[in-house]
Structure 1
Amino acid sequence: VIYVARNPMDIVVSFYHFHNLANFLPEPGTFGEFLENFLLGEVHFGSWFEHIKGWLSHREKFNFFFITYEELKKDLRHSVEKLCNFLEHSLLPETIDTIVRHCSFTNMKDNQMINYTLVPKEIMDHDRGKFMRKGAVGDWKEHFTEEQKEHFEKIFQDKMRDSNIRFSWAL
């Protein structure tokens, strides 16, 4: 199992923007309304908390590789090397260079096979936003009020208290 996690405050922001451009999903409402629905697990795909805790509870049962989006952003090359070690598959340095180049946010943002720009407007309305927006760690700071941040942190601490997982909230 390969599990890529991301700090949930950035996930809320990303998912909110995705809801704005995805015509097949319900209107997200205001960011504050969407945040509350996210914290309650009442968004498309359900509860983030239950999803991550559910998978982490199986770490010992499966051959499990856990990595965060923040690690990928901080050092993509090292992350690819760690994944190769997990898969017990060695790659030539130039192959890793190619993977890193193709998996960079900039390249993926420009790749029509990844950025959803080929998807019809009836499904994804790119006039309302982009699927690959910023790719930034810590973008939540541009969206959360101080009150929302404190509320989120309280719920996060409560729901994740039995977890030893740590996220980078900014780089």
Structure 2
Amino acid sequence: MPFNNVSSLPSIVSYGPWGAHNKDFWKIRHQRDILYLFYEDMLEDPKREIRKVMKYVGKDLPEDVVEKIYKRTTFKAMKDNPMTNYSNIPSSVMDQTISPFMRKGTCGDWKSHLTVAQNELFDEYYKKEMSDTDLTFRF
């Protein structure tokens, strides 16, 4: 989809505008006890992020359980699992022949699907959209 200007970038997710959705939860994360996890961090050190979730829910699990969680939550394991890859959802709801729910599991691959001009427009949109928050994403 070509983008003519920043305002034409698709910014709506099923929960409302993407920026507002993320920034609103970021603002109240301490008052409402919200745990933020970032995909890049999960790829960088999955067991560290699993331990963050354990701490958040007040659990102290043995290392062998952490290892099992790690193995069952790798991208490959989840992509192969119908319970997590949405392959059981009817194609009338999610047509995975157009785009599978789980593609590669790599960070930043979305940029390889945009033209240089579209990437520049997104960068401009992101800078404007996130200018009033300290929430940052790694690309």
TM-score scaled by structure 1? 0.71
Q: 1:87 aligns with which of 33, 38, 57?
A: 57
Distance 2:2 2:105 in 1: 19
Partner of residue 75 from structure 1, selected from 45, 59, 66: 45
| Structure-2 change in CA distance of 1:136 and 1:32 (3 Å) | farther
Matched position secondary structure for 2:107: coil
Report the counterpart of residue 58 of structure 1 in structure 2: 28
Distance 1:129 1:140, change over 3 A: closer
Deviation of the 1:163 alpha carbon: 1.2
1:106 is matched with 76
Match of 2:10 in 1: 38
Q: Do the aligned partners of 2:41 and 2:49 also contact (CA within 8 Å) in 1? A: yes
Inter-CA distance 68–31: structure 2 relative to 1 (3 Å threshold): farther
**Which structure is richer in relative contact order (CA contacts within 8 A, separation 6 or more)?**
1
CA RMSD of aligned residues (A): 2.1
SS at match of 1:142: helix
Alignment correspondent of 1:121: 91
Query: TM-score normalised to the size of structure 2?
Result: 0.86
Query: Which structure features the higher share of helix residues?
Result: 1
Deviation at 1:80, TM superposition (A): 0.4
Structure 2 residue 117 is matched with structure 1 residue 147: yes
- Runs of 4+ residues over 6 Å off in structure 1: none
Is there any run of 5+ residues in structure 2 with no aligned partner, and where? none
1:92-134 deviations in whole A, cap 9, x for unaligned?
0010001111111100000011112222233333332321111
Question: Cα distance, 1:44 vs. partner?
Answer: 4.0
| Aligned CA distance change for structure 1 residues 61 and 44 (closer, same or farther; 3 Å) | closer
Query: Percent sequence identity over matched residues?
Result: 29
Q: State the 1:37 CA deviation.
A: 4.5
